Amino acid sequence: MKLQLPIIIIVCLSIVFILTIHFVGGKDTQTISESNEESHNFRSIKIDAENAFASHQYGQAIKYYEEALELRPDNAEICNDLGAVHYRLGLKNAGPEWPSWNDIEANETVKDALSELNDAIQNVESGYFRIHTSSAEITKAITEEVKAKSATVFPYHGNTETTLNILVGPTSDHILYAKEYYLRAIDLKSTYAPAYRNLGSLYIKIGIKDKGINFLREAHKREPNDEELTEYLHQLKGGY
C-alpha cells in the first residue's frame, strides 16, 4: 500500500503532461494553419491589386493594396506599391497637361498675386501649377491662401526667386498619399531602393528637383547596377 501513492502521483502527472502536450500541440497546429491561410489570402489579394493596377483600375487597386497592408502592415513593398497607385491616380486626375496652368509671375502686389492664384485654382479643379516670385511678402501671402483653399504648396527657393509649386484637388490628395507611403516604405526597410526611386521621381515631378535627385542617388546606392536610373541621373542637371 505504501507504493500505491507514489504510483498514483506519477500516473496523474503523466496524464497532465500528455494533456498539456496535446493542447499545446493543438494550439500550435491551429496557429500554423491560420498563418498559412493568411499567407494565401495575402498573396491572392496582392495579385488582385497588381492586376487592377496593370489594367488602370486604380481605385480597385488601392482597395486591394489597403487590404494587403492590413494583413502585412510592416511590408515595405506593399507600402511602396500603394504609393505608386496613388501617384498614378494623382497624375490621372490632373489630366494630360502638366503643369495644368500657365506659369504665373507674381512680382507686383500681393492683391494681384492672390487674384491670379484664385483664378488658377478656379480653373484647375485638379492638377499642378507654379507661381514664381522674388517677393517674400507675396510668398507668404500665397502660401497662406493655398492652405486656406485646402490645396498644397511646395516652395522651392532659388538664389533670387521662389517657385511655389501648387497642387489642388484630388491630385493634391493622391500625391500626398503617395509621398507618405513611400516614406513609410523607407522607414520599414531602409535598403528598399524602389521607394527611394519613386519618391525622387515624385519630388522632381512637383518641382523640388534637388530633393528629388538626392532620393534618386539613394536609390542608386542601393541598386548601383540599375542602368536606367544611372542614365536618368546623368540627364538631370547636377546629376550623379
pLDDT digits 0-9 by tens, 100-110: 999 999 999 99
Q: What is the pLDDT of residue 36?
A: 74
Question: Is the per-residue pLDDT at 35 higher than 90?
Answer: no
Residue closest to 181 by CA, chosen among 44, 92, 77:
77
Q: What is the CB neighbour count within 10 angstroms for residue 18?
A: 10
Question: Is the per-residue pLDDT at 187 higher than 90?
Answer: yes
Strand partners, 69: none
Give me the mean pLDDT over the 138-167 stretch: 96
Rounded-to-integer distance, Cα 76 and Cα 189, Å: 6
User: E strands along 56-205, which residues?
Assistant: 104-105, 127-133, 152-157, 162-168
Give me the mean pLDDT over the 155-159 stretch: 94
Question: Is the per-residue pLDDT at 12 higher than 60?
Answer: no
Q: What is the pLDDT of residue 27?
A: 42
